[in-house]
Amino acid sequence: MQIIENKALLLSLRNPERVSAVIPRSKILENGTVLVKWGLDEAQVLKNLQIKGVPSPILGHYDWPGMYKPFAHQKETASFLTLHRRAFCLSEQGTGKTGGVIWAADYLIKLGHVRRVLIICPLSIMQSAWQADLFKIAMHRSVDVAYGSVAKRRAIVEGDAEFVIINYDGVEIMEKEIAAGKFDLIVVDECNAYKTTTTKRWKCLNRIVTNSTWLWMLTGTPAAQSPVDAYGLAKLVSPEKVPKYFTIFKDMVMFKVSHFKWALKPNAEKIAFAALQPAIRHTKKECLDLPDMTYVVRDIELTPQQKKFYNQLKQQLVVQAAGEQVTAVNAAVGLNKLLQVSCGAVYSDSGETLMFDIKNRYKVLREIIDETKHKILIFAPFRHVIDVLRDALTADDFSVAVIRGDVAAGKRTEIFRQFQDTEEPRILIIQPQAAAHGVTLTAADTVVWWGPTPSLEIYAQANARVHRAGQKNPVTIIRLQGSTVERHIYNLLDNRNNDHAKLIDLYKGLLA
C-alpha cells in the first residue's frame, strides 16, 4: 500500500475487483493495483474488507490542534478509533488515552460524522482530566459538565455543547434525555464500572448505546479481577462476540471446583481477550515518547461531615487570627488542622483523634487501584488515616504494607526490600516524612498523594523514591484534593515554593 500526496491510496491486491465494486470512484490500474480515495468512509470499507494496514486519513488530513503535540501512540490510538465505530481503548493509566480520544472525536466532528459527544467518567475526573484536556486540546469546541441539579443537568444534556461530560450516576438520572439520540458518540472512561450486566447502571447504559452510532470504552485493566468481567463490557461494544447468557460465558472461562469455588480454565484469558475486540492497547513501557513523570489531579467532594467541621474550624481560626499576629508557626498549625479534616482525621490538643467519613476519597483511591496493573505507592500524611486505609484495603483483599514514623529502622528496611523485590505487598502506604533519602521503590510506577505535605523538600524526595534510576516505566503522580487548602498547597508545590512568607499569605488568604 502506498499513500499518494495524502489524497489517495494505491493498493496491491489479489482481487482488485472486490474493492472496486464497493468503493465508488476507485480505479483499477493496468498493473492490477487499485487507486482509492483516502477518506474516512473508504478507509472504513477497506478495514471491513479485512485489508490490513489501512491507516485512518486523520494521519494525513488533520492538523492536531491544541497546546501540545500528540505522541506517536496517541496518533495511533486516534487512527484506530476513527476506523472503529465501537471499540475498546485498553491502554494503561498514564499513557494519554484522554488526548487520543479527544483528537479522534474532534476529527469526526470536523468531518460531520459526529455532532455531539457524551463523555461518561468518574466524578473525580470530570473537570480535572476531561474538561481540562478538552480546553487544552479542543479549545475551539464547546464543552459543558452536566453536574448539579436535575434542571441544570437537563439543560446541558439538551443543549448544544459539542462535548458534554457526565458522571456514572448522572447517566441514570438523565437516561431519558440522553437516550433521545442527541449524542452520536459515547465515550465511557474507566468502563470497568459497567462490567456487571445485572446492575441498574449497566442496563441503563445498554439502553442508551443502542441509539448511538459510535461507542468507545476505555480502561487500563480489562477483566483484571476475573475473565468473566469481560462479558459485560463485550455485551456493550461487540455483543456478537459473547454468548447471549452470562452463565454460558462463565462456563467457557471457568470450571466449578466446589459449590462456592470456581477456577480459571487454561484458555480463559485468550477467550476474554477475544471478547474485548476490537481494541487497541499501549503500555507505559511501550510508550517511549512519554514524559518521565506525569501529574494527574483527582477532585473529590468532601463528605457533609467533613464540610461542616472544616467550616467550623475555619471560623475558629479566623477568630484566633484576629486576636494575635499570624506567624509561620501558627500558620503552619492552622493549615495542618485544615489538612487533617480534608484527609479524614483531626488530632485534638489533648491527643484524641476525631475520624471522619472518608468514603468519597476512598472510592476514588479504589478507582485508581483498579485502573493500575503495577505496584502503587500511597503517601498519607497522618498516622490514623494510614491505619484506616490499611484496614480498608486489606478488607478489600489487597496486600498492603505500612511505613510510619514509629516503624523501626530494621523493619522499614525489610518492608522496602519486600516491596521492591517480591510480588507482595502490592500497595505500600507511607507517611511522607518516613520516605528516607536514598530509598529506591521503582517497583511502583504510580504514586498517589492522599493529601499534600506543605514541605517542598519532603514532596520532591517522596516522589523521587519512584522516579529514579532503575525505573522502567514512566511515572504517574496522582494527587487527591477536596478542599481549598489542598488545592492551594499543591499550587505552591507546583511553583516550587517553600517560603514561610508564602505559607503565611496562603493562611491569611484562606481565612479572608
DSSP 318-370: HHHHHHS---HHHHHHHHHHHHHHHHTEEE-TTS-EEE---HHHHHHHHHHHH
How confident is the model at residue 244, as a pLDDT?
Answer: 94
Residue listed under C-alpha cell 505522541: 71
How confident is the model at residue 437, as a pLDDT?
Answer: 67
Q: What are phi and psi of 493, to 5 degrees?
A: -65, -40
Whole-angstrom distance, CA of residue 302 vs CA of residue 285:
35
Domains of the chain: 2-48 (no CATH), 58-280 (3.40.50.10810), 293-300+355-511 (3.40.50.300)
First vs last C-alpha separation in the chain: 66
How confident is the model at residue 97, as a pLDDT?
Answer: 92
How confident is the model at residue 203, as a pLDDT?
Answer: 96
Q: What is the DSSP pairing of strand 185-188 with strand 214-218? A: parallel
Residues 6+ apart with CB under 8 A from 386: 380, 402, 404, 429, 431
Contacts 24+ apart (CB under 8 A), 244-247: 246/197
Tell me how far CA of residue 448 lies from CA of 121, 366, 403, in angstroms: 19, 11, 15
Q: Which three three-digit cell numbers place residue 410?
A: 530494621
How confident is the model at residue 262, as a pLDDT?
Answer: 85
Asked if 294 contacts 352 with a C-beta cutoff of 8 angstroms, the reply is: no
How confident is the model at residue 306, as a pLDDT?
Answer: 92
Share in percent of the chain as helix, strand, coil (round to 5) = 45, 15, 40
Which one-letter DSSP state was computed for residue 490? H
Per DSSP (E only), the strands in 178-236 are: 185-188, 214-218
Whole-angstrom distance, CA of residue 149 vs CA of residue 147:
7
Whole-angstrom distance, CA of residue 391 vs CA of residue 376:
16
Nearest to 88 by CA among 216, 200, 191: 216
Tell me how far CA of residue 454 lies from CA of 327, 354, 498, 500, in angstroms: 15, 22, 8, 10
Looking at the DSSP bridge assignments, the partners of residue 476 are 294, 446
With 0-12 / 13-18 / 19 or more C-beta atoms within 10 angstroms meaning exposed / middle / buried, residue 461 is: middle
Asked if 53 contacts 1 with a C-beta cutoff of 8 angstroms, the reply is: yes
Tell me how far CA of residue 359 lies from CA of 225, 300, 302, 478, in angstroms: 22, 10, 9, 18
pLDDT beneath 70: ranges in the chain: 349-350, 436-437, 498-500
How confident is the model at residue 504, as a pLDDT?
Answer: 83
Amino acid letter, residue 400: V
* Alpha helix (H) residue ranges in 112-226: 132-137, 150-157, 168-173, 175-178, 200-209
How confident is the model at residue 499, as a pLDDT?
Answer: 65
Contacts 24+ apart (CB under 8 A), 265-274: 268/227, 269/227, 271/227, 271/230, 272/222, 272/223, 272/227, 272/229, 272/230, 273/230, 274/241
Sequential DSSP letters for 234-303: HHHH-GGGS-SSHHHHHHHHEEESSSS-EEE-TTHHHHHHHHS-SEE---TTT-TTS-SEEEEEEE-PPP
Residue listed under C-alpha cell 484566633: 320
Whole-angstrom distance, CA of residue 338 vs CA of residue 336:
5
Whole-angstrom distance, CA of residue 375 vs CA of residue 391:
18
Asked if 444 contacts 376 with a C-beta cutoff of 8 angstroms, the reply is: yes
Asked if 101 contacts 137 with a C-beta cutoff of 8 angstroms, the reply is: no
